[in-house]
Amino acid sequence: MLILGLETSCDETAATVLDADERGARVRADIVSSQADFFAAYGGVVPELASRNHAARLLPVVRQALACAEVVYADLDAVAATYGPGLTGALLVGLNFGKALAWGLGVPFVGVNHLAAHLQAPLLAEGAPQPPFVGLLVSGGHTALYAVTEAADQPGLLEFEPLGETVDDAVGEAYDKIGRLLGVDYPAGPTLDRWAAEYAEEHGGDCAGPVEEFTRPMPTGLDFSFAGLKTAAARRIIELEASGELDDARRRALAAAFQAAAVETLGEKALAACARTGLRSLIVGGGVAANSGLRAYLGRRAAEEGVRAFFAPLRLCTDNAVMIAARGRRLIEAGLRHDLDLEAVACLELGAEG
């Protein structure tokens, strides 16, 4: 089955051609046109401009994906597009294109939940664990933990039971806000990650202390909270700026201290979820899953706890269409079809595609 996957929920215009059969799935094309450079100067995504950019870029991106996969429209067996959560105007571009194309070709169409797709991404890598496992979702807009199982009658179709989520900011959002205060363009996560690694290298491999230190936010249960950490880091940056002490070395120290606190919270909550559910595998997806500190911390701590931590491949952590096609494939195999009246849903819970 050849599936065209489309993703336009935020600021990446992406299309993929996935070739899937009972032996597995092969990515024949993976095209991502990021608007990150466009929005760097704005300090974040401007929804109306993102929609217009998607409208201008989607057709060229789809054509490039087909050319790369060496297929034509008539070869496609199905179309899958993100229908939520995300920016409504941005979602509508990919969703309406996908619905119209599938209708024109007379092939099945499914709308895909972007969050489910992020947690499908790790399973595209070789050696991925089999469900059940705990899923840690860490993206720009979401930070949450789920117990992930496989549908009883449908191998490969993941189902999600919420275990905990952030009560305020998402971790990616906190990275971007702190980055902006440190003078880093949106999205700031990758730069802060690099600064933290540089600081660790200068200080014997450890991100924590001695120059800066933040309290680890540990609300009770399996929920997260990043607003307090964000505010503490912001206050410290403003203080250092006012006293003229905010030089590059101090920026690296702040990035390292922020990352150490964020990563420890994410890692320990995820391991607590494993302990609570008795599940011994953990998968991690979403943009912040690319974070080198989180990968190193969980790699070490999970091993100590006898848990296997498995991350999405780096290329599939941030927004892409491969994960959309991969989730879409499972929904189509399960017999799900969406009609032309499927609407974009800005706030969509995980597991609500049916």
Query: In the complex, which residues of this chain contact ligand KG4 (CB under 6 A)?
Result: 10, 139-141, 172, 175-176, 187-190, 193, 286-288, 290-291, 318-319
Q: Are 79 and 66 in contact (CB under 8 A)?
A: no
- Closest approach of Cβ 196 to ligand KG4, in Å? 9
Does the footprint of Zn ion cover residue 13 (CB under 5 A)? Answer: no
Nearer to ligand KG4, 86 or 132 (CB): 86
Which of ligand KG4, Zn ion, none is residue 30 near (CB under 5 to 8 Å by kind)?
Answer: none
Q: Which is nearer to ligand KG4, 132 or 189 (by Cβ)?
A: 189
State the Cα–Cα distance between residues 173 and 167, nearest whole angstrom: 13
Binding mask 143-182 for Zn ion (x = CB under 5 A): ----------------------------------------
- Distances in Å between the Cα of 50 and the Cα atoms of 35, 41, 171 are 8, 14, 22
Nearer to Zn ion, 13 or 139 (CB): 139
CB of 137 to ligand KG4, least distance (A): 9
Is 106 buried (19+), middle (13-18) or exposed (0-12) by CB count in 10 A? exposed
Q: What angle do CA 26, 29, 34 make, to 5 degrees?
A: 130
CA dist., res. 147 & res. 351, Å (int): 12
Should residue 139 be labelled a site residue for Zn ion when binding is judged by CB under 5 A?
yes
Give the nearer residue to Zn ion in terms of CB position, either 176 or 264.
176
Contact 265, 218 (CB under 8 A): yes
Note whether 319 binds Zn ion by CB under 5 A: yes
Amino acid code (one letter) for 120: Q
Given the complex with Zn ion, which of 193 and 319 has the nearer CB atom?
Answer: 319
- Please choose which of Zn ion, ligand KG4, none residue 187 contacts, taking the beta carbon within 5 to 8 angstroms, the exact cut-off set by kind: ligand KG4
Spatial strand order in the sheet of 133-138: 158-165, 143-150, 133-138, 281-285, 308-311
Looking at the Cβ atoms of 182 and 326, the one nearer to Zn ion is 326
CA distances from 12 to 170, 222, 225, 319 (A): 19, 30, 27, 6
Residue 320 contacts Zn ion per CB under 5 A: no
Q: How far apart are CA 59 and CA 66, in angstroms?
A: 11
The token pair at 142 is 């979401």
3-state secondary structure of 255: helix
Segment near Zn ion (CB under 5 A); pick from 200-208, 209-217, 234-242, 317-325? 317-325
For Zn ion, how many residues bind (rule: CB under 5 A)? 2
Nearer to Zn ion, 85 or 132 (CB): 85
Does position 291 interact with Zn ion (CB under 5 A)? The reply is: no
Q: Which of these ranges, 75-83, 135-143, 165-173, 256-264, lies near Zn ion under the rule CB under 5 A? A: 135-143
Binding residues for Zn ion (CB under 5 A): 139, 319
